Structure 1
Amino acid sequence: MLDVLAVTVPVFLIIGAGYLAVWRSLFTQSQVDGLMVFTQRFAIPCLLFGAMVRLDLSEGFDWRLLVSYYSGSLVCFVAGILGTLLWLRRGAEDAVAVGFAAMFANTVLLGLPIAERAYGSDSLAPNFTIIAFNAAFCYLIGISAMEAVRAGGSGFLGGMRTVARKMSTNSLMIGVALGLAVNLTGLSLPDPLAEAIDLIARAALPAALFGLGGVLVQYRPEGDARGIVLCCGIALILHPAWTWGIGTVLGLGEGPFRAAVLTAAMAPGVNSYLFAAMHGRAVRISASSVLIGTAASVVTVSGWLLLL
């Protein structure tokens, strides 16, 4: 157990340091915003670009990995919707927003550093494979469902155009796409350029973790306790449990199996709040679930690591 805590606690200590720095006004919210702009638009895209360039496509894109993880995402989305409709007794639009929060795991800011500390940087290829599809998959499902239930919405085609526009301007997706393009074409980057990209990428995870802590200060838990419990329970327990079961049935290899389960065990990501705010639905549940889910995952992720 001490070995497991040695993996997870340093990650959450960095998040806590960022939270404390902003809470005590040692670091301003505008400075956090600037740090997150650097990590989200530059450092993490460089990290993902380098990972995609080096990814062995013949081994990385295992259909069993994707089915294990993303079937769990769909189950969590449906569970969030049904729980909101039947238990919370809220409307369909709120249900879609809660379902999105339950589905969208923090695959990058939490998933990558914990997996790296647990199993080493050489084990991350399956994690990057999941990340390559995560935003596009979740936004496609979430926006399509929201447009389907929203009166006066732009319809399915309008929802697809929104997804395409968001993905084409998303820095993380651009980093993934460019990295895959270099990988598929077999191009070789000049050494100075490759080294510069790696230097920026090395700053990505520690800076992003500190920034995440600062961002969480503004997501104060407010009311809707049952909704928060529902969302966090689905994200932290149901998703990894489902992924574990399907991965076992499909005979997923040890490395991809660990990556899929551990990634599925992550707390709801900040995109959960952004999706809710974009549609003006279940914003308090989504924001509080990001904060409380991240705090609770200190325990739950340690538990899943112990089982793995």
Structure 2
Amino acid sequence: MGLPLPALLDVTLPVFLVIGFGYAAARLGLFRDAAVDGLMLFAQGIAIPCLLFRAISTLDLGQAFQWPLLIAFYAGATAGFLAGLLGARLLFGRPWPDAVAIGFCALFSNSLLLGLPITERAYGAGALSANYAIIAVHSPYCYALGIAVMEVVRHSGRGLLVTVRAVATAMFRNPLVVGIAAGVAVNLSGAQLPEVATEALDLLVRAALPAALFGLGGVLVRYRPEGDLGTVVFVCALALGLHPAITWSLGQALDLGQGPLRSAVVTAAMAPGVNAYLFANMYGVAKRVAATSVLVATAASILTVPVWLSLLG
């Protein structure tokens, strides 16, 4: 039986309040755009890569990387992408490039800035190994799928090899992917970092999520809830409902186990991340839908996440 609603809100509200503090500070002009950009550059370019490196370098890879976990999560994510793509095209009459960007909104859940802190508050730091396994392949998988489908519908004519090279180059210029890859390399090599280095990294790690959440609030000020209401509601339903529902069902069918199932479903239930807007902006399509979906779904998840936590127990 799940926890009562007040207890569930005690778990989730502090995370959303930090986002709210960032939003209010930026909205009131106490935190300028340049300061928000600098904070997010520090969080996403330095502190969070350090967090991922430290977590994955000490992770039991054989235990964390379970095929049922990845199948349950990414089958749900892929189903959300396809539903968003086809729904945008067939229900809302959007051009194919717009439809791909809208599908990407339902694909790319905010596994890092929301999924990690909410899972930790709900189930403790010891529950995060499955989260890190999901995060390790999240950006590469989502961007590879989104870019590949976008290139197909745009008929770029660049050829498969050029497209694959472009995807790989974009991935390994991403500091988050670099942090993950470095963590895997240290883990597999069995190398031990000097204690002074690990202590310095841990100082950065402790700042990572609070800084990123506050900065996320500042970034959300730039996204205005405007137009395309039907499409935005559709995206929110897929991201906050369909994805976690499929992950929950598959996790149970695959006998995933309580801990990994919780991590997978909580991560799947997160709102689209800012990367959903960045993807749309990269191609110059469906930017208004993507920006509004990130903002509205993040606000709506204050109510939907406790429901999933209650179902998970």
Q: Is TM more than 0.5 here?
A: yes
Match of 2:243 in 1: 239
Hey, what does 2:176 align to over in structure 1? Answer: 172
Q: State the shift of 1:25 in Å.
A: 0.3
**Which aligned pairs between 1:106-145 and structure 2 lie closer than 5 A?**
106-145=110-149
Q: Which moved more, 1:137-146 or 1:147-156?
A: 147-156
> Which of 242, 247, 254 is residue 250 of structure 1 equivalent to?
254
Matched, 1:271 2:278: no
1:230 aligns to what?
234
CA deviation vs aligned residue, 1:120-145 (integer Å, no higher than 9, x gap): 11110000000000000000100000
State the identity as a percent: 56
**Counterpart residue type for residue 298 of structure 2:** T
Determine the C-alpha separation between the residues in 2 that align with 1:274 and 1:111: 19
The alignment of Structure 1 onto Structure 2 pairs a total of residues equal to: 308
Give the Å deviation of 1:58: 1.7
Q: For residues 17-71 of structure 1, what are the alpha-carbon distances to aligned partners after superposition, in whole Å with 9 as ceiling and x for unaligned?
A: 0000000001111100000000001100000000001101120000000000001
| 2:46 match: secondary structure | helix
Counterpart of 2:295 in structure 1 is 291
Task: Provide Cα deviations, 1:152-205, integer angstroms capped at 9, x if missing partner.
Answer: 353433321221011111000100110110000000000000110011000000
Structure 1 CA distance for aligned equivalents of residues 195 and 286 of structure 2: 48
Q: 1:52 is matched with which residue: 38, 50, 56? A: 56
Aligned-partner Cα distance in 2 for 1:60–1:152: 38
**Secondary structure in 1 matching 2:272:** coil
Write the mapping of 1:206-217 to structure 2, written as runs, cut at 5 A: 206-217=210-221
Which one-letter code corresponds to 2:305 in the other structure?
V
Of 177, 194, 201, the match for 1:197:
201
Q: What are the Cα deviations for residues 217-270 of structure 1, in whole angstroms up to 9, with x where unaligned?
A: 001112011111111110000000000010011000110000000000000000
Q: Deviations over 1:263-289 (max 9, x none)?
A: 000000000000000011111000111
Gaps in structure 2 of 5+ consecutive residues: none
SS in 2 for 1:203: helix
Which consecutive unaligned segments of at least 5 residues does structure 1 have?
none
What do you get for the CA RMSD once the two structures are aligned? 0.8
Aligned partner of 2:72 among 52, 68, 72: 68
**What is the TM-score of this pair, normalised by structure 2?**
0.97
1:146 Cα deviation after fit: 0.4
Say which SS state the counterpart of residue 159 (structure 1) adopts: helix
1:32 aligns with 2:36: yes
Q: Does 1:11 align with 2:39?
A: no
Structure-2 change in CA distance of 1:36 and 1:94 (3 Å): same
> In the alignment, which of 151, 157, 160 is matched to residue 161 of structure 2?
157
**For the residues of structure 2 that align with 1:244 and 1:137, how far apart are their CA atoms?**
20
In structure 1, distance between residues paired with 2:19 and 2:260: 26
Deviation, structure 1 residue 214: 0.2
**Contact 1:126 1:260 survives alignment (8 Å):** yes
Q: TM-score, normalised by structure 1?
A: 0.99
